[in-house]
Amino acid sequence: MNAKTYSPKASEIERRWWLVDAEGQTLGRLASVVATKLHGKDKPTFAPHMDCGDFVSVVNASRIEVTGRKLEQKEYYHHSGYPGGLRTTILAKEMEKHPDRVIEQAVRGMLPKTKLGDHMIKKLKVYAGPEHPHASQQPQAWELTESLTGKAAS
């Protein structure tokens, strides 16, 4: 028996656009399912050495939820590269100023830390409000179910 391993060619990869409403979703659970979609792991043609994923637009980023006391306790770090250049921000202030960056950082942390991961994160579009400029791509609404997010249906 001579079975060959299938490896998709770049020309064979079909990319779709998905629209996710982040309202009421938990930050980490939302980020993990979005990262899976960006990576393409949900497709039967997945190959770990290629970017097989789809485009994902996330709207209502300012309405995500976090559990516990993360709003006061979770800190984001940034260093300028100069001595004494460490800057910290708590999640509550980051949500006020740039709620889109919170989701982008959470998803980025779940993608590969390589050039491939840099390419994947460019397919993520996050918007604080309900409007998005991707209507011409005809994104499909992607309802996050209880099994994906771990939330009980109410």
Tokens 């709003």 locate to 71
- At 77, list the tokens: 């770090």
pLDDT of residue 5: 85
Looking at the domain assignment, is residue 84 inside a domain? no
Looking at the domain assignment, is residue 129 inside a domain? yes
Low-confidence ranges of the chain (pLDDT < 70): 1, 146-154
- At 118, list the tokens: 């840099």
Q: Are 25 and 144 in contact (CB under 8 A)?
A: yes
Looking at the domain assignment, is residue 3 inside a domain? no
Looking at the domain assignment, is residue 115 inside a domain? yes
CATH assignment of the domain containing 140: 3.90.1180.10
Looking at the domain assignment, is residue 140 inside a domain? yes
Number of domains the chain contains: 1
Looking at the domain assignment, is residue 82 inside a domain? no
* Torsions phi, psi for 70 (to 5 deg): -60, -30
Looking at the domain assignment, is residue 139 inside a domain? yes
Looking at the domain assignment, is residue 30 inside a domain? yes
Range of the domain at 134: 16-64+111-145
Q: Are 61 and 127 in contact (CB under 8 A)?
A: yes
Q: Are 47 and 59 in contact (CB under 8 A)?
A: no
pLDDT of residue 31: 96
Does the predicted model carry a pTM greater than 0.95?
Answer: no
pLDDT of residue 154: 46
Count of other CB atoms within 10 angstroms of residue 141: 8
